[in-house]
Amino acid sequence: NLDDIAGAISAIERGLQIDPHDVNLRAELAWILATGPDDAIRNGPRALELARGAVADSSGQSLKAREALAAALAETGDFSNAAATVRNLLDDPSAKVSEDARRRWTDELDRYLQHQPWTDARHAPGDVLDGSL
């Protein structure tokens, strides 16, 4: 529900006040702002800024940040770069993820190719096993 999402956003914002460069917190907040199920909490430009920073600070190693970047790109209407970002995830031999994660990435790619943003009721990129969760 919207109150739970608002609470999660508040908690992450407090964490970012303590450590504004925390890759995981920025990626998680970017994901929520880019994929939240309610338009009232979606904020593509902020999600894009957070995700780009998280990807840069992790030198592209955080799969969570890269997935959040794809979602943020789609939320801001940049579907071709969103699709390219997910394709890079799918093609990355170092991306050690579950089959569920690969299926989700494939589903995300399909949405972006149809020029549709991703909506995720889970509120966080799931079951990526790169140690960033």
Residue 97 CA to residue 89 CA, distance in Å, equals 10
Predicted model pTM: 0.88
Both tokens of residue 65? 């940040």
Q: Closest by alpha carbon to 76, among 112, 100, 129?
A: 112
Is 34's pLDDT higher than 70?
yes
Check pLDDT > 50 for residue 133.
no
Give the pLDDT confidence score for residue 79 in this predicted structure. Answer: 98
What does the pLDDT look like over 82-132, one tens digit per residue? 999 999 999 999 998 999 999 999 999 999 999 999 998 664 554 443 333
Helices (H), the chain: 2-18, 23-35, 44-57, 63-75, 79-91, 99-113
Under 8 Å CB-to-CB from 131, ≥6 apart: which residues? none
